[in-house]
Chains A and B, each alone.
Chain A
Amino acid sequence: MATLLDIVTTAAILFAVSAGLLIVFGVMKIINFAHGGFLTVGGYSALAVTKLGWNPWFSLAFAFVIGGVCGMIIERLVVRPLYSRPLDAILATWGLGIIIGQGITLAFGREVQFVQSPVSGAVDIAGGSYSEYRLLLVGIAIVLAIVLGLALNATRLGLVTRAVIMNENLAKGLGINSGLVRFGTFSLGAGLASLAGALITPLSSVDPNMGVPWLVNAFMLVMVSGVSLVSLGVACLVLGGAQVLVSSWGNPILGGLTIVVLAALVLRFRPQGFARD
């Protein structure tokens, strides 16, 4: 039972962490390697909220706004010239990640710090106790998935965005301002990453490089998911589940490799990954 809960909560965390990257990749066809940096920004936003003594719940909204603003600035300055050079975009956004990490180091120091959790304690489930916050994350991830799904599929903005995803040139020809769609998407992706950073910090701690390991896993999950939120959910459950199993029955370090190795193999034999054809 505990293992099952671990699988579900791990999948939820992975989903929350990867969603922003997926949105950006889906619309813009570029990999945002600054995603790890945005996660870190979220973590430190939560830290700032803790230090100011505000309500820890407020850190979620705060992180989303801070991340979104960072995303807006970066899209204008750095990402925009790179739309036609996707591999260069990976590198430039990785450089941005370095800049963000160093900026945070200069501002907050490089030591590991801790953030107050909005919920603490455990609940009793099926004879054992389980972290209340991890369970809460499952709910948050589901809400996130529903909100994003509805926004994409049931609003006019979502329709425009999907048009850009499918055929950007045609969308442009129809008078859609695809530059604005990209701007909005990148900012949203950054905001989501930052929100996810704030969500995961109560589980561990913050340090200026906290984003990198998450970035790698999120990147691999997005690669196997194509551009669909549903397949991202499936990928998080399957690969995150495998990670939990390998970590608990094998060795935690191998567990840390599970997602990247399995994802690379899945793509080798099924290039579309978990997405339907």
Chain B
Amino acid sequence: MAVSPEAVSVPVGAGRAAKSDLRKLGIIVAIALVLVAVGPWVLPTYMVNSLIRAFLYAAVALTVDILWGYTGILTFGQSAFFGIGAYAVGLIFTHVGYGPGYATLAFFAAVVGAMIVAAVVGWLAFYHGASPLYGSVVTLVLPIVVSQILYSGGNFTGSSSGLSGFESFDVSIEAWFWIAGVFLILLTALAWIFVRSDAGKVLVAIRENEQRCEYVGINVSRVKILLMIVCAAVAAVAGYLFAGVQMVVAPEYAGFVFGTELLIWVALGGRGSLIGPVLGTLVLDVSTSYLSGNLPFVWKLIIGIAFVVVIVALPRGLMPLITGAFRRLLGRGKEVRAESAPTLAAATEQPFAGLQGGGAQALAVSGVRKHFGSLVVLDGIDFSAQRGELLSLVGPNGAGKTTLMRCIADGGERSGGTVRVNDHDIGRLPPYACVAFGVGRKFQNANVFETLSVAEALRIARSRLVRPSLSQHSTTLELPEVALQVIRATGLDRDLQREVRQLSHGEKQALELAMVLALEPSVLLLDEPTAGLTKSERTLIGGILVDLAQRHRLCILLVEHDLDFVREISSRVIVMHQGKIVLDGTVDDVVNSELVRTIYAGGAAQAAA
């Protein structure tokens, strides 16, 4: 892989930036460790006890932040995993026995149990096409089910009073403080590294635009389920430690109300900031244990009011306010994006990655039908296309062009017929699987990730071929030659760090095209790629498309209304009308066709009259 000659000049050595970030993290971790080390000696005992509990709650809040703040999964259910971890200790120490062996057994029971439950919940909540609301519904049902099972467990689970008085670890309160504190600090540091890594950006991409993620080949359901499993395991470990130190477990710890309390802490601290939820939990939980004695109801009322105000007026929580104040205090202007621009490089191309051979026929559509109830949108579409063809789909609005595109890119869309991409039947497979067969789809309206940077968005598009690192923030961005071409021709290579939402409409269209090309597709579906572009931008895109078809042998299917544009670039044209193909031929065939003129002039009925 050769670094391209025009590689973007990097203002701050990217490697150095990453290192200085790590150094900063190291310093903060060291300070936190020192604070935890001296804590038990300087703090009053009651405070030490409260903080141990708050440390463990904060660890769970951290998982809520990863799921909700970063990935956009509003979860009420992390309390259930905390409860599973706690009850693993309570049940085994009470009914089986206590000892190092049993403690280990309880640990594995906690973690494995939570992971299994999380896998089932994830399967239920995050199936392909599930709405975000449904996912939240399932995470809401989970703690209710778990706590009710605990209530109904009779003497075994101790029912509503829970289990207490079991023998537990012979560890001093100071040592528990250190254990819980170090656990929280390490967890936070790991989470911090993870969310800044390339893989962490995938989570943000899912939150921003799940559909686009599917269409760049990411199996979103799988990512969410895996994340759920990991977060469940972490929450279970926190619950395990909690039961170990408190020597009491109760159904409330697995319940729905505790689940919402976690959300409140995360929201007040500042979702999507890691440190905000941790500090939020520590401050709120400790102050609750001090204040709930004096002003029990008023304190909860104040929390409730603060929560509502934050959700309505400060969706990012209180953390940005505090850090902003600090910055002003230190006289350091506005927040700057920490990451410096990566170096662009040409990737070793791997077309047809994961496929056996390129296939004889790029695209074969036969008998494809689509109806919504009784409304027939596509009525027996048959055509095939070869590599190197630039095939334009034209026809009046409502002819079914976009629907046809959808049916090729998502196996779940069509009502009948078959679609074969590179000789692979797409069956009922979801979009990410169709991407693996070589389909790349660009949507009609620029469909991108608004809060990511240009470079991050492109890297997400590469994640199908280049497994994103779980710990590193890459300093080079390798893209196939064609994607580089688009980026350079449109000047996006100078804007790699810019947030996507700041781009112009034309730049977003170009970015999406580059993202699709980064997939190394062999069948490119483009839905009005030039809509809303200026004349010069159009010419530019047209030239790129012709080059893609002729030099790179892509099969391009283009939906387009601008017939002049179609005439200039297409090698073949299909005319659709009312869900059927009415003409399939060369540009000349179509231009000279009486039929096409009548369709565009206002329908066949008028022509007959």
Contacts and interface: CB of A to CB of B under 8 A. Distances in A.
Interface residues of A, number: 39
A92 B260 contact: no
Interface in B216-267: 256-257, 260, 263-264, 267
Interface of B is mostly: helix
A253 interface: yes
Contacts of A94: 260
Given A90-B74, A216-B256, A267 B137 contact: yes
Contacts of A264: 124, 137-138, 141
B307 interface: yes
B134 A102 contact: no
A256 interface: yes
Interface of A is mostly: helix
B303 interface: yes
| Highest count of chain A CB atoms <10 Å: which of B144, B151, B305, B315 | B144
A133 to B, nearest CB: 27
Given A87-B74, A91-B267, A251-B152, A98 B300 contact: yes
Interface string B71-87: 00010000000000000
A102 B301 CA distance: 6
Contacts of B264: 95
B186 interface: no
Q: Chain B, interface size: which category?
A: 35 or more
A253 B308 contact: no
Interface in B301-358: 301, 303-305, 307-308, 311-313, 315
B373 interface: yes
A268 interface: yes
Contacts of A263: 137
A260 to B, nearest CB: 5
Nearest to B307: A95
Interface string B145-183: 100100110000000000000000000000000000000
B430 to A, nearest CB: 15
Interface stretch (A42-50, A78-86, A137-145, A165-173): A78-86
B516 interface: no
A81 B313 CA distance: 8
Given A95-B308, A253-B148, A254-B152, A87 B132 contact: yes
Given A212-B257, A271-B134, 19 more contacts: A82-B311, A82-B312, A91-B307, A96-B304, A96-B308, A98-B300, A98-B304, A102-B304, A106-B301, A110-B297, A219-B137, A220-B137, A223-B134, A257-B145, A260-B140, A260-B145, A263-B137, A268-B124, A268-B134
17 contacts: A82-B312, A86-B133, A87-B136, A91-B74, A92-B307, A92-B308, A92-B312, A98-B304, A99-B304, A102-B301, A102-B304, A103-B301, A110-B297, A220-B141, A260-B140, A260-B145, A271-B129
